[in-house]
Amino acid sequence: MSVLVYAEHDNQQLKDETLKLVAAAVQLDEQVHVLVAGSDCEVVAASAAKISGVSKVLLADDINYKHQLAENVSTLVLELASDYQYILAAALTTGKNFLPRVAALLDVSMIADISAIESTDTFVRPIYAGNAFATVQSIDPIKVLTVRTTAFDKAELGNNAPVEAIQMSCDAGLSSHIEDQFTKSERPELGAAKIIISGGRGMQNGENFALLEGIADKLGAAIGASRAAVDAGFVANDMQVGQTGKIVAPDLYIAVGISGAIQHLAGMKDSKVIVAINKDPDAPIFQIADYGLEADLFSALPELEAAL
Amino acid sequence: MKVLVPIKRVIDYNVSVRIKPDHSDVDLTNLKMAINPFCEIAVEEAVRLKEQAKATEIIVVSIGNKACQEQLRAALALGADRAIHIESDYQLEPLHVAKLLKTVVEQESPGLVILGKQAIDNDNNQTGQMLAALLGYGQGTFASKVDIVDDVVHVTREVDGGLQTLALPLPAIITTDLRLNEPRYASLPNIMKAKRKPMEVVTAESFGVDLAPRVKLLKVTPPAKRQAGIMVENVAQLVEKLKTEAKVIA
């Protein structure tokens, strides 16, 4: 019995979240297999084989997995599931999409977004937007888990695990892909960035987000946003940090013009150092900020950019 | 085409939760409860489909104790036609909920089931996907746009990095993301009318589904407290602190 880890990738590049998944997986069992499901993704499998702790990489390279549609991927994982005691995926949109399907087909409950592993059957997960942590014990024979990757460190590289091709072309015939519209960005991805600067409603409009760009460039930071900023149409929704957006935990999080609603805090309060810049001294964000600056962002941001 | 919308009664999203002193669970007594915000978006989407004459009837269903009839009435006031209350006093897991809903879908045969992407209490994000699996339907999760063209629904999904559009043959399962729509408020006349709309009450036990828990809740603890921070006077002091004290920037 062993652990099956579903690799996060875009057919070209293995994502860092996979290294964190492997770090979680090795706490559960010595045998860790990484499944790379995609199309023309051999290079991803080769990267996965380098992660320390991985015993084997399974490569399911087929056109039906190109867009990692839930219906097709869950059929594939279900076929493999009987050999595993644990099935892990990152708590990102791909894992959240297909893994509950796998669990239901296996007739087991799924445990979402685990942030710690207490023992082989006991896990900790945030509930109520991270305002409480539940310790839960699974009695199911197969544990199906999504992992909050920000809560685990990356596994090291320096392995040479075997890659085994699996010939299984699962087409459930229940969905078809029409198009992707990905936001192009030169900056680091929110999930992977060491420094994030986020703007909220206080930015007043989308153009003012340019004030964050110069600072982000100097710091090598990603730019995020609160739900208020996204809902107001200032920026694209994939920049949203929060309970319903991305969960991040960078070394430094700079919140600008963000009041600090429960929903937003859920997405960033595990950041190592939090800086808040806000003109309202009573904004809740100051209660969790390590460094607070009560100032008008329109004067503070240019000053900050100049000071860096 | 019928549209089925499962909804959940949860703590109002503005309310902070308290944890019971014995850490056995959160304490929900006397707290304001509401329709889960994502479920509200699901109801709104169903009502809009009806307004576009793409849906003929909207059925809302909720599973829980008697109190969740309050949320079903609220959904009827928003435009749903009838409600089904599946009475259960247990803390059900998404798998159990999906199994109960599967039976309702088989009885009602809706063309579309619209759920919220996650409930803001347990933050599971599973029920819609599980229901789709049990029924063998296609799923369009985290939907920010829904477009029905004949027997196919086009769903634009919010995924990491941007948007993805899929086509699903009907019947299908959709789960709503925040930007799908802006839910309306119920008007007073509609709240009054909703009191006379039909509500069927059935017990969860009558479904013959095994509702025994698979996951045991051992304890609930508060998140680690962050150390109290400090207020800095100006930008220069902030940069200085970040460089020398926090050492997060070079």
Give DSSP secondary structure letters for B89-157.
Answer: -S---HHHHHHHHHHHHHHH--SEEEEES--TTT----HHHHHHHHHT-EEEEEEEEEEEETTEEEEEE
Nearest CA to CA, how far is A232 from chain B (Å)? 11
- Residues in chain A with CB shorter than 8 Å from the CB of B227 are 290
Nearest CA-CA partner of A207 in A298, A300, A278: A298
- Tens of pLDDT, residues B229-242: 999 999 999 999 99
pLDDT at A254 (0 to 100): 97
The answer to whether residue B232 neighbours chain A at the CB level (below 8 Å) is: yes
Considering only CB atoms, A122 lies closest to which of B132, B134, B218, namely B218
| B171 upstream amide cis, omega within 30 of 0 | yes
**Alpha-carbon gap, residue B222 to B26, rounded angstroms:** 10
Using alpha carbons only, how large is chain B's radius of gyration in Å?
A: 21
Average pLDDT (B80-86) is: 98
Decide: B9 and B67 in contact? Cβ < 8 Å: yes
What confidence score (pLDDT) does residue A184 get? 78
Residues of B in contact with A97 (CB under 8 A): 129, 139, 141-142
Distance (Å, whole) CA A87 – CA B16 = 33
Contact A86, A97 (CB under 8 A): no
The answer to whether B52 faces chain A, any CB pair under 8 Å, is no
Residue that wins the pLDDT comparison between A188 and B65: B65
The reported pLDDT for the residue numbered A133 is 96
Choose from B215, B219, B240 for mutation: most chain A CBs within 10 A: B215
CA distance A62 to A68: 10
Model pLDDT, residue B144: 95
**Strands (DSSP E) along A184-249, which ranges?**
195-199, 222-225
- Helix, strand or coil for residue A65? helix
Q: Does residue B163 sit at the A interface (CB-CB below 8 Å)? A: yes
Name every chain B residue with its beta carbon within 8 A of the beta carbon of A272: 246, 248
Q: What's residue B248's pLDDT?
A: 85
Q: What pLDDT does residue B91 have?
A: 85
Is the Cβ pair B129, A236 closer than 8 Å?
Answer: no
> Rounded mean pLDDT of chain B?
95
B window 4-43, beta carbon within 8 A of A: 11, 13-14, 16-17, 19, 26
Q: Which residue of B has its CA nearest to A130?
A: B223
Contacts within 8 Å (CB) and 24+ apart, A243-249: A243/A129, A243/A130, A243/A267, A243/B120, A243/B123, A244/B117, A244/B118, A244/B177, A244/B178, A246/A190, A246/A191, A246/B160, A247/A91, A247/A148, A247/A150, A248/A150, A248/A190, A248/A191, A248/A193, A248/A196, A248/A224, A249/A150, A249/A151
Interface residue of B129, B211, B244 to substitute, partner A, most A CBs within 10 Å: B129
Mutate to test the interface with B, among A197, A264, A290, A304 (most CBs of B within 10 A): A290
Tokens (6 digits) for B199: 């509500």
Q: pLDDT digits over B101-132, tens only?
A: 999 999 999 999 999 999 999 999 999 999 99
Measure in Å the smallest separation between the Cα of B196 and chain A Cα atoms: 34
Q: What is the pLDDT of residues A86-103, one digit of tens each?
A: 999 999 999 999 999 999
The nearest alpha carbon in chain A to B15 belongs to A262
Cα distance between residue A42 and residue A32, in whole Å: 19
Tokens encoding B204: 């969860």
Query: For tokens 């309702």, what's the residue?
Result: B104
Chain A partners within 8 Å of B24 (Cβ): none
Q: Does B197 touch chain A (CB under 8 A)?
A: no
How far is the alpha carbon of A198 from chain B, nearest alpha carbon, in Å?
Answer: 16
Collect the ranges in chain A with pLDDT lower than 50: none
pLDDT tens digits for B88-99? 988 899 999 999
A96 contacts B125? CB cut-off 8 A: yes
In B, minimum Cα distance to A118 occurs at: B218
Report, as an integer, the average pLDDT of B51-66: 97
Cβ of B161 within 8 Å of Cβ of A231? The answer is no
Identity of residue A222: A
CA–CA separation, A223 vs A197, rounded Å?
Answer: 5
Q: Find, among A36, A101, A35, A37, the residue nearest to A63 by Cα.
A: A37
Looking at residue A236, its pLDDT comes to: 87
Q: Looking at residue A138, what is its pLDDT?
A: 97
Give the distance from residue A237's alpha carbon to the nearest chain B alpha carbon, in angstroms. 8
Query: How many residues are listed for chain A in this entry?
Result: 308
Higher model confidence: residue A108 or residue B16? A108
Alpha-helical (H) ranges within A81-197 are 93-106
* CB-CB neighbors (< 8 A) of B16 in chain A: 131, 262
Residues of A in contact with B241 (CB under 8 A): 291
CA distance A16 to A20: 7
**What confidence score (pLDDT) does residue A157 get?**
97
**Residue among A93, A102, A293 minimizing CB distance to B235:** A293
State the smallest CA–CA distance between residue A296 and chain B in angstroms.
Answer: 11
Which chain B residue has its CA at the smallest distance from A173's CA? B138
Instruction: Locate the chain B residue with the closest alpha carbon to A252.
Output: B248
**Among candidates B95, B117, B230 on the partner chain, residue whose Cβ is nearest the Cβ of A291:** B230
> Minimal Cα–Cα distance from A83 to chain B, Å?
21
- Residue A260 to residue B96: CA distance in whole angstroms: 35
Q: What is the pLDDT of residues B126-181, one digit of tens each?
A: 999 999 999 999 999 999 999 999 999 999 999 988 899 999 999 999 999 988 99
Cβ distance A135 to B120 less than 8 Å, yes or no, reads no
> Token pair of A161, please?
């695990």
Question: In this complex, which of A133, A138, A308 lies closest to B239 when CB atoms are compared?
Answer: A308
- Give the closest of B19, B127, B162 to A238, CB-based: B162
Could A291 and B246 be called an inter-chain contact, meaning their C-beta atoms sit closer than 8 Å? Answer: yes
